[in-house]
Amino acid sequence: METRLAAVYYDMATAPTVTPDRVNQVTRKTYPNYKVIVLNDDFNTFQYVAECLMKYIPGMSGDLAWDLTNQVHYEGQAIVWVGPQEPAELYHQQLQRAGLTMAPLEGA
């Protein structure tokens, strides 16, 4: 009788099991990006806007800061940075506190 129980036990352990195909799949969603937009105004100088962009936007070169400052002046606005929400909020707040006229953050 012991042999018989062992055979039944082993048959149950080796029986195939059916699992859903997608149980272990993980779907990753990327976080949305946000645009930091500087608007034209009548009281900030070109020099000051360019200096603020270089000071508060990481990796901003002098040439790019001047190009964006010209875009702000001639087109009325410029997107100065695009990326995740938390740093976008930080850069937006820093530029606004520095006195630049800012558009509300918007999704990219």
Could you tell me what percent of the chain has a pLDDT over 70? 79
CA distances from 102 to 43, 62, 72 (A): 13, 20, 11
Q: Where are the domains of the chain?
A: 28-107
pLDDT for the residue numbered 8: 47
pLDDT for the residue numbered 22: 65
pLDDT tens sequence across 33-43 = 999 999 999 99
Tokens found for residue 27: 């779907």
User: Is residue 70's pLDDT more than 90?
Assistant: yes
Over residues 75-95, mean pLDDT: 97
Topology at the third CATH level for domain 28-107: Ribosomal Protein L30; Chain: A, (3.30.1390)
- C-alpha 65/C-alpha 77 separation (Å) is 13
For 4-68, the three-class secondary structure string (H helix, E strand, C coil) is HHHHHHHHHHCCCCCCCCCCCCCCCCCCCEEEEEEECCCCCCHHHHHHHHHHHCCCCCHHHHHHH
What is this structure's pTM?
Answer: 0.73
